[in-house]
Amino acid sequence: MKKIVFFDIDGTLLDHEKKLPSSAKKAIQLLKENGVFVAIATGRAPFMFTNLKKELDIDSYVSFNGQYVVFENEAIYRNPLNELKLESFLQETNANEHPLVFMNELTMKATTKYHPYIETSMGSLLFPHPEEDKSFYVQKEIYQSLLFCKEDEEKFYFENFPEFDFIRWHPYSVDILPKGGSKAEGIKKMIDRLGFELKDVYAFGDGLNDLEMLKAVGTGVAMGNGVPEAKALANLVTTDVSKDGIWNGLKELGLI
């Protein structure tokens, strides 16, 4: 029976220093040799993990938390944010002096030339502060936006923009997605394409944006460094990402 494993990137494939442990690379190579299909499921934009895709030789992925799905280098699902809603959202964030970053599959632009929250948040992913382009969202497919504000300051947006979902990923930053968009939805699109059943689908994750995915797949694996909510939903909790978490998890599942 064909099986597929989806891997989150930050805190799952990449360790706390944003490096790929050699044990994880070796495990993925073994998975492929065993005939298991391997894909990425991440909140990142495709341009943010080009090197990782190359290093692991993976060309199928769920990006932007499910909004842009690529199967063997072909985009099979796109779910952009509504441009008019994004425009009214931008008006509110401007009034509250909360900057945004707009992202499509190729690049990202900020609504301001410089903001410390943007620099700190993007820096945690080892990315520089994006260039300014306030109208980047106009007549483009924006799959994810990032809102920069302190914790609890996003409550106003939750209440006033029900057409969006909000997931905090950093003390200063929140992902903005189309309502109901998640890694789980993106995974469903890919496995429909492959003809797999959910029971043959595995996923490894650690964060709040992994909860739907861990719940939806046949076997959800939380990293030892994962948030408590992820561990509570998972079928298996493996070791920390920096302590061979991928290798140990796949070993315990009998996939390698």
Catalytic residues: 8
226 Cα distance to chain centroid: 14
116 Cβ partners below 8 Å, 6+ apart?
none
14 Cβ partners below 8 Å, 6+ apart?
20, 52, 241
What is the spatial distance between Cα 224 and Cα 219, in angstroms, rounded to a whole number? 16
Cβ(111)–Cβ(73) under 8 Å? no
CA-based angle 134:161:184, to the nearest 5?
Answer: 95
The label of the residue with tokens 């969202």 reads 137
The label of the residue with tokens 């492929």 reads 32
What is the spatial distance between Cα 128 and Cα 18, in angstroms, rounded to a whole number? 15
Of 137, 119, 116, 136, the residue nearest 128 (C-alpha): 119
What is the spatial distance between Cα 185 and Cα 148, in angstroms, rounded to a whole number? 25
Cβ(63)–Cβ(105) under 8 Å? yes
Helix axes 22-33 and 245-252, enclosed angle (nearest 10): 30
